[in-house]
Amino acid sequence: MKDKPMLRVRPLHYTSNIGSWERLLTALGLVLAEGDGGFRVYDAGAGRLALHEVPAGAAEDGTTALAVEVGDLAEFGRRTNLAAQDEGTTPAELVTESHGEACRITGPDGFTFLADKAATVDGDTGADPALAVVGVWFTEDADAAARTLRHIGARPRPVPDNDETADFTAKNGGVLLVRPASGPPRSGLGFEYDGGLAPLRDRLTAAGLEATLTEEAFGSTLHVANPDAAGPGAPSVPATVWISQHRPMG
Protein backbone atom coordinates (compact mmCIF):
# COMPACT_ATOMS: atom_id res chain seq x y z
CA MET A 1 0.00 0.00 0.00
CA LYS A 2 1.35 3.41 -0.94
CA ASP A 3 2.05 5.93 1.79
CA LYS A 4 -0.58 8.58 2.31
CA PRO A 5 0.15 11.94 0.65
CA MET A 6 1.29 15.01 2.49
CA LEU A 7 -1.08 16.59 5.02
CA ARG A 8 -0.30 19.51 7.34
CA VAL A 9 -2.65 21.47 9.60
CA ARG A 10 -2.73 25.20 8.75
CA PRO A 11 -5.78 27.08 10.07
CA LEU A 12 -6.47 30.62 8.86
CA HIS A 13 -7.23 33.15 11.58
CA TYR A 14 -8.88 36.48 10.76
CA THR A 15 -8.00 39.39 13.02
CA SER A 16 -7.88 43.16 13.27
CA ASN A 17 -5.13 42.76 15.89
CA ILE A 18 -2.40 41.22 13.79
CA GLY A 19 0.40 42.89 15.76
CA SER A 20 -0.90 41.53 19.06
CA TRP A 21 -1.24 38.07 17.53
CA GLU A 22 2.33 38.24 16.27
CA ARG A 23 3.51 39.00 19.81
CA LEU A 24 1.52 36.06 21.19
CA LEU A 25 2.68 33.61 18.52
CA THR A 26 6.30 34.66 18.91
CA ALA A 27 6.11 34.16 22.68
CA LEU A 28 4.55 30.71 22.13
CA GLY A 29 7.51 29.76 19.96
CA LEU A 30 6.14 30.09 16.44
CA VAL A 31 8.31 31.61 13.72
CA LEU A 32 7.28 33.82 10.80
CA ALA A 33 7.71 31.72 7.66
CA GLU A 34 6.23 33.83 4.88
CA GLY A 35 4.35 37.03 4.17
CA ASP A 36 4.19 40.35 5.93
CA GLY A 37 1.66 43.11 6.38
CA GLY A 38 -1.88 41.79 6.21
CA PHE A 39 -1.13 38.13 5.53
CA ARG A 40 1.44 36.08 7.43
CA VAL A 41 2.14 32.38 7.91
CA TYR A 42 3.84 31.08 11.05
CA ASP A 43 5.55 27.74 11.60
CA ALA A 44 5.11 25.80 14.83
CA GLY A 45 7.04 22.68 15.76
CA ALA A 46 4.09 20.80 14.21
CA GLY A 47 1.68 22.54 11.87
CA ARG A 48 1.33 26.14 10.75
CA LEU A 49 -0.99 29.08 11.34
CA ALA A 50 -1.93 31.80 8.87
CA LEU A 51 -3.07 35.26 9.96
CA HIS A 52 -5.28 37.38 7.70
CA GLU A 53 -5.84 40.98 8.70
CA VAL A 54 -9.41 42.32 8.50
CA PRO A 55 -10.95 45.64 9.60
CA ALA A 56 -12.08 45.93 13.21
CA GLY A 57 -15.72 44.92 13.47
CA ALA A 58 -15.69 42.82 10.29
CA ALA A 59 -17.83 39.70 10.46
CA GLU A 60 -14.72 37.50 10.28
CA ASP A 61 -12.79 39.40 12.97
CA GLY A 62 -11.66 36.98 15.65
CA THR A 63 -12.75 33.84 13.77
CA THR A 64 -10.72 30.89 12.51
CA ALA A 65 -11.25 28.85 9.35
CA LEU A 66 -10.06 25.25 9.49
CA ALA A 67 -7.59 24.57 6.68
CA VAL A 68 -4.84 22.15 5.72
CA GLU A 69 -1.93 22.05 3.30
CA VAL A 70 -1.29 19.18 0.88
CA GLY A 71 1.32 18.32 -1.72
CA ASP A 72 -0.76 17.71 -4.85
CA LEU A 73 -4.30 19.07 -4.90
CA ALA A 74 -5.64 16.76 -7.61
CA GLU A 75 -4.16 13.64 -6.03
CA PHE A 76 -5.38 14.69 -2.59
CA GLY A 77 -8.90 15.15 -3.95
CA ARG A 78 -8.82 11.84 -5.80
CA ARG A 79 -7.67 9.88 -2.75
CA THR A 80 -10.16 11.60 -0.47
CA ASN A 81 -13.08 10.74 -2.74
CA LEU A 82 -11.79 7.20 -3.21
CA ALA A 83 -11.67 6.74 0.58
CA ALA A 84 -15.28 7.97 0.84
CA GLN A 85 -16.71 5.93 -2.02
CA ASP A 86 -18.19 3.25 0.23
CA GLU A 87 -20.45 5.95 1.69
CA GLY A 88 -21.49 7.07 -1.78
CA THR A 89 -20.09 10.57 -1.24
CA THR A 90 -17.48 12.74 -2.94
CA PRO A 91 -16.43 15.23 -0.27
CA ALA A 92 -13.49 16.71 -2.21
CA GLU A 93 -13.86 19.24 -5.03
CA LEU A 94 -11.17 21.21 -6.85
CA VAL A 95 -12.04 24.91 -6.76
CA THR A 96 -10.58 28.27 -7.67
CA GLU A 97 -10.46 30.70 -4.75
CA SER A 98 -9.37 34.33 -4.68
CA HIS A 99 -5.87 33.22 -3.66
CA GLY A 100 -5.61 30.46 -6.28
CA GLU A 101 -6.37 26.79 -6.79
CA ALA A 102 -7.53 24.74 -3.78
CA CYS A 103 -9.51 21.65 -2.85
CA ARG A 104 -12.70 22.13 -0.88
CA ILE A 105 -13.77 19.41 1.56
CA THR A 106 -17.43 19.23 2.59
CA GLY A 107 -18.56 17.16 5.58
CA PRO A 108 -21.96 15.50 5.95
CA ASP A 109 -22.97 18.30 8.34
CA GLY A 110 -22.34 20.92 5.64
CA PHE A 111 -19.10 22.17 7.20
CA THR A 112 -16.44 23.04 4.62
CA PHE A 113 -12.73 23.69 4.74
CA LEU A 114 -9.94 24.17 2.23
CA ALA A 115 -6.82 22.24 1.37
CA ASP A 116 -4.22 24.52 -0.17
CA LYS A 117 -1.03 23.69 -2.03
CA ALA A 118 1.72 23.40 0.57
CA ALA A 119 4.69 25.67 0.74
CA THR A 120 8.03 23.94 1.16
CA VAL A 121 9.32 23.84 4.73
CA ASP A 122 13.01 23.02 4.76
CA GLY A 123 14.54 21.47 7.86
CA ASP A 124 14.57 23.20 11.22
CA THR A 125 12.47 26.36 11.12
CA GLY A 126 13.59 27.51 14.57
CA ALA A 127 10.09 27.07 16.01
CA ASP A 128 9.62 25.47 19.43
CA PRO A 129 9.56 21.74 18.57
CA ALA A 130 7.15 20.99 21.44
CA LEU A 131 4.35 23.23 20.13
CA ALA A 132 1.65 21.96 17.75
CA VAL A 133 -1.14 23.91 16.05
CA VAL A 134 -4.61 22.47 16.72
CA GLY A 135 -7.60 22.89 14.43
CA VAL A 136 -11.02 22.02 15.89
CA TRP A 137 -14.22 20.95 14.13
CA PHE A 138 -17.28 21.55 16.33
CA THR A 139 -20.34 19.68 15.10
CA GLU A 140 -23.56 17.92 16.07
CA ASP A 141 -22.45 14.93 13.97
CA ALA A 142 -19.06 14.06 15.46
CA ASP A 143 -18.96 10.55 13.99
CA ALA A 144 -19.42 11.82 10.44
CA ALA A 145 -16.81 14.55 10.94
CA ALA A 146 -14.34 11.97 12.20
CA ARG A 147 -14.95 9.84 9.11
CA THR A 148 -14.27 12.82 6.87
CA LEU A 149 -10.94 13.48 8.59
CA ARG A 150 -10.00 9.84 8.08
CA HIS A 151 -10.87 10.21 4.41
CA ILE A 152 -8.42 13.11 3.99
CA GLY A 153 -5.65 11.02 5.52
CA ALA A 154 -5.60 12.29 9.10
CA ARG A 155 -4.29 9.71 11.57
CA PRO A 156 -6.56 8.78 14.49
CA ARG A 157 -4.97 8.76 17.92
CA PRO A 158 -6.36 7.36 21.19
CA VAL A 159 -8.60 9.55 23.33
CA PRO A 160 -8.84 9.30 27.14
CA ASP A 161 -12.51 8.31 27.22
CA ASN A 162 -15.26 6.86 25.07
CA ASP A 163 -17.32 9.98 24.41
CA GLU A 164 -17.94 11.48 20.98
CA THR A 165 -14.63 13.30 20.76
CA ALA A 166 -12.03 12.26 18.19
CA ASP A 167 -8.37 13.23 17.93
CA PHE A 168 -6.17 13.09 14.83
CA THR A 169 -2.66 14.00 13.82
CA ALA A 170 -1.50 15.05 10.37
CA LYS A 171 1.43 13.29 8.74
CA ASN A 172 3.36 16.53 8.21
CA GLY A 173 2.43 18.30 11.42
CA GLY A 174 -0.45 19.54 13.51
CA VAL A 175 -3.49 18.17 15.33
CA LEU A 176 -7.15 17.96 14.29
CA LEU A 177 -9.90 17.55 16.87
CA VAL A 178 -13.61 16.76 16.52
CA ARG A 179 -15.75 18.02 19.38
CA PRO A 180 -19.54 17.62 19.73
CA ALA A 181 -21.39 20.93 19.95
CA SER A 182 -24.92 22.18 19.36
CA GLY A 183 -25.80 24.61 16.62
CA PRO A 184 -24.23 25.11 13.19
CA PRO A 185 -20.84 23.44 12.63
CA ARG A 186 -17.87 25.73 13.14
CA SER A 187 -14.12 25.69 13.59
CA GLY A 188 -11.86 26.60 16.47
CA LEU A 189 -8.18 27.17 17.17
CA GLY A 190 -5.84 26.04 19.90
CA PHE A 191 -2.38 24.67 20.55
CA GLU A 192 -0.85 21.60 22.15
CA TYR A 193 2.43 21.49 24.05
CA ASP A 194 4.56 18.40 24.54
CA GLY A 195 6.19 19.45 27.80
CA GLY A 196 5.58 21.25 31.07
CA LEU A 197 3.19 24.17 30.82
CA ALA A 198 4.59 26.09 33.79
CA PRO A 199 7.79 27.12 31.94
CA LEU A 200 5.70 28.10 28.93
CA ARG A 201 3.45 30.19 31.19
CA ASP A 202 6.51 31.93 32.59
CA ARG A 203 7.75 32.61 29.05
CA LEU A 204 4.42 34.19 28.13
CA THR A 205 4.18 36.34 31.25
CA ALA A 206 7.78 37.49 30.70
CA ALA A 207 6.60 38.72 27.29
CA GLY A 208 3.89 40.77 29.01
CA LEU A 209 1.02 38.39 28.24
CA GLU A 210 -1.67 37.32 30.72
CA ALA A 211 -1.57 33.53 31.14
CA THR A 212 -3.32 31.21 33.61
CA LEU A 213 -2.60 27.53 34.20
CA THR A 214 -5.56 25.29 35.10
CA GLU A 215 -5.94 21.59 35.89
CA GLU A 216 -8.71 19.92 33.91
CA ALA A 217 -10.18 16.43 33.62
CA PHE A 218 -7.52 14.96 31.36
CA GLY A 219 -4.54 17.25 31.90
CA SER A 220 -3.34 20.80 32.30
CA THR A 221 -4.37 23.69 30.07
CA LEU A 222 -2.82 27.09 29.71
CA HIS A 223 -5.17 29.98 28.94
CA VAL A 224 -3.78 33.17 27.40
CA ALA A 225 -5.75 36.37 26.86
CA ASN A 226 -7.16 36.38 23.32
CA PRO A 227 -5.95 39.47 21.39
CA ASP A 228 -9.36 39.66 19.68
CA ALA A 229 -11.48 39.52 22.83
CA ALA A 230 -11.39 43.28 23.38
CA GLY A 231 -12.65 44.09 19.89
CA PRO A 232 -16.14 44.87 18.58
CA GLY A 233 -16.86 41.17 18.11
CA ALA A 234 -15.99 40.38 21.72
CA PRO A 235 -19.31 38.69 22.68
CA SER A 236 -18.72 35.90 20.14
CA VAL A 237 -14.94 35.66 20.51
CA PRO A 238 -13.40 33.36 23.14
CA ALA A 239 -11.80 35.25 26.01
CA THR A 240 -8.68 33.12 25.87
CA VAL A 241 -6.51 31.11 23.54
CA TRP A 242 -5.81 27.65 24.98
CA ILE A 243 -2.71 25.49 24.98
CA SER A 244 -3.29 21.96 26.25
CA GLN A 245 -0.60 19.68 27.58
CA HIS A 246 0.03 16.68 25.36
CA ARG A 247 -0.18 13.49 27.36
CA PRO A 248 0.40 10.36 25.29
CA MET A 249 -1.90 7.46 26.06
CA GLY A 250 -0.06 4.72 27.93
Q: Which residue has the higher pLDDT, 219 or 34?
A: 34
Q: Which residue has the higher pLDDT, 68 or 119?
A: 68
pLDDT at 165: 85
> How many angstroms separate the CA atoms of 104 and 116, rounded?
9
pLDDT at 160: 66
> How many angstroms separate the CA atoms of 142 and 138, rounded?
8
| Residues paired with 153 in a beta bridge | none
Domains defined for the chain, CATH in brackets: 7-245 (3.10.180.10)
Task: Read off the pLDDT band of 89 (50, 70, 90).
Answer: confident
pLDDT for residue 234 is more than 60: no
How much is the average pLDDT of 143-167?
A: 87
pLDDT at 1: 37
pLDDT at 164: 72
> How many angstroms separate the CA atoms of 8 and 170, rounded?
6
pLDDT at 202: 96
| Residues paired with 102 in a beta bridge | 95, 116
Name the residue among 29, 79, 80, 43 with its Cα closest to residue 206.
29
pLDDT for residue 162 is more than 60: no
Q: Which residue has the higher pLDDT, 238 or 232?
A: 238
pLDDT per position as a tens digit, 10-43: 999 999 999 999 999 999 999 999 988 899 999 9
Percent of the chain with pLDDT over 90: 76
pLDDT for residue 119 is more than 80: no
Query: Order of strands across the sheet with 219-225?
Result: 155-157, 166-169, 175-180, 131-139, 186-193, 240-245, 219-225, 211-216
- The one-character DSSP state at 196 is -
